[in-house]
Amino acid sequence: MEKSKQKEKIIACVLVAFSLVYCFGCLQLKVGHLSNPGAGLLPWLIGILLLLFTSINFYTAFKPREAPREANHQGETLPPNYRASLGIAVCVVVYPFLLMNLKFLLTTAIVLFFMLLCLKYKKVLGSLLISIAVSVISFLIFSILLGVSFPGGVLEDLILSLW
Amino acid sequence: MDILHNLMMGFTVVLTPINMFYVILGSVFGTITGILPGLGPLGAMAILLSFTLYMDATGAMILFAGIYFGAMYGGSTTSILLNIPGEAASVVTCIDGYQMARKGRAGAALTVSAVGSFVAGTIAIIGLMLFATTLSSFALQFGPPEFFAVGLCGLIILVRLSGESMVKSIIMVLFGMAVATVGVDLVSGVERFSFGIYELGQGIDLLPVAMGMFGIGEVLWASEEKEAQTKVINVRMRELFPTRTEWKRSTGPMLRGSVLGFAIGLIPGPSHVISTFVSYMVEKKISNHPEEFGKGAIEGVAGPESANNAAVGGAYVPLLALGVPFTPALAVVLGALLLHGITPGPNLIKQQPQLFWGMIASMYIGNFVLVILNLPLVKVFVAILKVPQKLLLPLIVVLCLIGVYSLSSSYMDLMVLAVFGLIGYVIRESGFDSAPLILALVLGPMIETALRQSLKITHGDIGAMIFRPICMSLYLMVVLFFVAPYAMKMFKKKNSLAA
């Protein structure tokens, strides 16, 4: 309970910060006149309203509340697996950077392998084989069947030449 | 006669091998996404959005219609057999559907649910055909002030209906509109919020945002939960037939649910979910056996299951007639149309008759396919739940990553996907609903253009923008929508005090 309240406070702070940054960005835009509105009219309106409502949310999040009754722990669900969600989040964030350098096949295989390990689907060898198979199959489907051009290197060229 | 002639033309469009393949693919895929908890029609459409680039616009619409209807069918299966709603619109079905299954009437519940969905789907398609064509002719009179009013009122009603807190829903709408303002302003050519980054100057696309919020966000959320073993109630083929009494008790709820669902589908927001709750309450109120509700009343399955299917048909009306999507899933459908260079609006039915009537005809066929598929193959579909989540989740992530990259080979899109995936995951735990953000992102540019054009036309006279017959009616409707519940509460309080 304490954790989720903490999270709510952090989100409220981030939202207010976002509104301020957005309003700051609006300063560079011309509002124009009502009869000839400029590019900044709607952003200004959005910015002001955003600041107002994120401030209300901020106040609500930080307002002291009555402590809720202790939850009944009988029949409670299993503890959440944060390790898996963190692992997947890291994979999604690093994917574009890896793709630029390692190209499609290697990047997709590495990312999928790491996610399978985080979720403990199979042992290392099983996960590795699945990752390689999925990345090769998806490369063939998207690249050859659908004509998508992925960043390619030696491995991609090799598969294309074999095909 | 005109409608019949056009419908026949629609059937000739659909009855080609490739389009029939899309009907069946959409129906099967939709059923699967309805069965799998967490991945609703919106997530499925968002994931498949990039694939629609490789088909024609009609094919894409046929596929998406199949997914949308299929998800409504699929959601009921797990609700009845497992007490797990695969989709938000099937939560209500759990109440009586699962109780029926425990009493050995799972087959009857599944059949009534499938037949109810078919009846509702058919009624909704007829409604869609008639309403969309009429409304689009009427909407030809719309100018920028009317489009501004439609967009604004849609967002305001959405705020009222979605999420647990109105302030949070408003923040999400404003956040979505803020994201929509990123990029070059098409009227003045001024760059807005791009911070000198060339790719941001092009604006932020719907696809990476939708796939991030509903694909990656859902996966991150689902990966936190440890997998639980599911215990399925067995159904034999001979048990699928309801008794005569069960049929008799279901007919009324099916028809009422269809009409209610279609009407609620015209309202912005999660109409397919709301329609099930409303239908359940109505059936309970008018039933001769209200005490049976919650203990396995067949009306509690027939009504809501019909309502959610009919709501899907209703929700298509504003999109096809006005070009304004009122549900997040239809925002993705709009995205698919825009990817093909088609801007829906009052002229769509006249300019793209093959697309419109082809889609309508595909809905008829899709509904039929869904009944045929869902009843005999119920065991096969339920077996999908046995595919380990630990394998499914990474595959969905890879599909999202590849799908987003394949759209425009942009690394920036992948970064946007990652950012919105994290946002979708974080905000969900704090009671923020992602749906208003997506709708605001889609409606934002339309609202801005309409507002600026309206102000120019009226020389900055806001009164002239509001006091036009159609605009005024829309604004009054919104005011009534907000005031009515409070007025009714006060009226009830006064009555009880007087008594």
How confident is the model over B139-173, as pLDDT tens digits?
888 889 998 998 898 888 878 777 678 899 999 99
Q: Which of B402, B413, B415 to mutate to test the interface with A (most CBs of A within 10 A)?
A: B402
Looking at the complex, report in whole angstroms how far the Cα of residue B13 sits from the nearest Cα belonging to chain A: 24
The residue behind tokens 């009427």 is B138
- In 3D space, the residue among A44, A75, A60 whose CA is nearest the CA of residue A5 turns out to be A60
Residue A69 predicted with pLDDT over 80: no
Distance (Å) of CA B146 to CA A159, B319, B450, B454, B467: 56, 15, 8, 9, 11
pLDDT at residue A15, as a whole number: 93
Phi-psi region of B30 (alpha: psi -120 to 50; beta: other; left: phi over 0): alpha
CB within 8 Å: A43 and B192: yes
Q: Would you call B192 helix, strand, or coil by DSSP?
A: strand
Q: Which residue of A has its CA nearest to B448?
A: A42
Percentage with pLDDT > 90 across chain B? 12
CB within 8 Å: A50 and B393: no
B25 close to B65: Cβ distance less than 8 angstroms: no
- State the Rg of chain B over Cα: 23
Residue B230 predicted with pLDDT over 70: no
Q: How far is it, in rounded angstroms, from Cα B363 to Cα B358?
A: 9
Residue B201 predicted with pLDDT over 90: no
Residue B237 predicted with pLDDT over 70: no
Among the ranges A92-106, B280-294, B320-334, which has the highest mean pLDDT value?
A92-106
Q: Which residue of B has its CA nearest to A5?
A: B430
| Cut 0.90: pTM above it | no
CB within 8 Å: B175 and A50: yes
CB within 8 Å: A142 and B402: yes
Q: Which residues on B lie below 8 Å from A49 (Cβ)?
A: 170, 174
pLDDT at residue B422, as a whole number: 93
The H or E element spanning position B184 is: strand B183-184
The residue behind tokens 């942009």 is B410
B397 vs A82, A91, A146: nearest CB: A91
pLDDT at residue B139, as a whole number: 81
A37 close to B452: Cβ distance less than 8 angstroms: yes
Q: How far is it, in rounded angstroms, from Cα B117 to Cα B367?
A: 8
Q: Which residue of B has its CA nearest to A54?
A: B171
Residue A131 predicted with pLDDT over 90: yes
Q: Which of B170, B171, B191 to mutate to test the interface with A (most CBs of A within 10 A)?
A: B171
Distance (Å) of CA B460 to CA A46, A62, A79, B129: 19, 41, 58, 38
B264 close to B277: Cβ distance less than 8 angstroms: no
Q: Does A161 touch chain B (CB under 8 A)?
A: no
Return the axis-axis angle of helices A154-162 and A82-119, rounded to nearest 10°: 50
B472 close to B149: Cβ distance less than 8 angstroms: no
Q: How far is it, in rounded angstroms, from Cα B370 to Cα B367?
A: 5
Token couple for B149? 């009013």
B167 vs A25, A53, A116: nearest CB: A53
Residue A74 predicted with pLDDT over 60: no
Looking at the complex, report in whole angstroms how far the Cα of residue B406 sits from the nearest Cα belonging to chain A: 6
- Residues β-bridged to residue B192: B183
CB within 8 Å: B452 and A37: yes
- Residues β-bridged to residue B183: B192
**What is the DSSP secondary structure assignment for residue A153, as one 8-state letter?**
-
Residue B86 predicted with pLDDT over 70: no
B430 vs A7, A79, A111: nearest CB: A7
- For B268-325, write each residue's pLDDT tens digit: 777 777 888 888 888 888 888 888 888 888 888 889 889 988 888 888 888 888 888 8
Q: Which residue of B has its CA nearest to A11?
A: B427
Distance (Å) of CA B111 to CA B25, B106, B280: 22, 9, 18
pLDDT at residue A75, as a whole number: 46
Looking at the complex, report in whole angstroms how far the Cα of residue B121 sits from the nearest Cα belonging to chain A: 33
Q: How far is it, in rounded angstroms, from Cα B325 to Cα B335?
A: 10
Size of interface A-B (CB pairs under 8 A): 172
CA atoms within 13 A of residue B460's CA, in its CB half-sphere: 9
CB within 8 Å: A85 and B224: yes
Looking at the complex, report in whole angstroms how far the Cα of residue B409 sits from the nearest Cα belonging to chain A: 7
CB within 8 Å: B221 and A99: no
B175 close to A50: Cβ distance less than 8 angstroms: yes
Q: Does A121 touch chain B (CB under 8 A)?
A: yes
Residue B191, φ and ψ in degrees, nearest 5: -80, 135
B308 close to B72: Cβ distance less than 8 angstroms: yes
